[in-house]
Structure 1
């Protein structure tokens, strides 16, 4: 291994640590609690890994252009930004209110939960989770570094390193479940997820409401002063 490759792997490993994310593990644990089988669990992990690598490799040489496009989209004219923020605030408010009103509803039926943890559903969820890497700034840095290598194999390996480190909680849950789905570690994890599911739901509702409040306040500030809050 050349020094340049070693340096690239070390840099991407650091980016993986910086992008460490437990959400994928939470998604998978919730599916396991709903009765997902080994094949569905493996499908979620494999599809999220595969899609992340594909997107990362595809971004490799064009990530800087993509970042420039994103920045230009963020720097929209003030009236357009006002309406975008106001629309987002309304949408988030509606979502938060609906979640709050449904907070005491009984849990989904067994058949509905089973559909949510089926093979097609887990493949779709894994694909969506792989695409969600685009929301992580460390992923763009990883793609930029990987794009400096020629060919496809090396960039794919580098993106895979980032995924395995940043998704270490997901990897741990997947491996633990595949080794022994009835083991005490899995049983405790599922029990903890079920116990915390209501609290996590309330936290998400509160975050939605808080985001809506910030966007609404920024829009109101623009109407009064012509300036937005520094969101």
Structure 2
């Protein structure tokens, strides 16, 4: 039977394998029952009762362990720390250290302007399914640098809201062949309109019809079909998709 340390190492190597987390919960039941229960509740997507909520509050603050000081924030999903927020500088300098301790799948970066060429060169990007750069004024050059990264093969969700992205940046993203799994890009609040958008509001809150901006249509015809330019995203409420939905 695998030890807890061996199972945790396996989780770090394959964060998408939820069966490993079930086995890890069983393995730590005797030594850390609170965390074992948190994992099981999270995997079952159950609503914790009051007693379980108290256990949550005891467990969560310690789950980031020895790398907590490198994080701006972190969140637990599937019983372990999967979502982290870091400064771009901390990610460039210490990303590998954090990844060696936590099964990170979603990264939010802050203070990233001017650092995107360095960010794009960090191999730790290769584990991510979601990257949120929203509210970082990285501009077209920053997005072009990211699109040139060879470490984005698993990325499915990309947040670029309020990033100062124009037509050149949108085209760099569309032209990149480094993002084969990219399904959704959040681009609201930028000078350019690229992705499908809903118009009007039906009784259920969803749009009455959907329009594809001319640039989005042009890029999809030139470089696509590109899943993140699919018109179906415009039919969603507010046109927004969570990272764990794509």
TM over 0.5: no
What interval of TM-score do these two structures reach, taking the shorter chain for normalisation? under 0.3
Larger relative strand fraction: 2
Larger relative helix fraction: 1
- Larger relative contact order (CA 8 Å, sep ≥ 6): 1
TM-score for the superposition, normalised by structure 1? 0.24
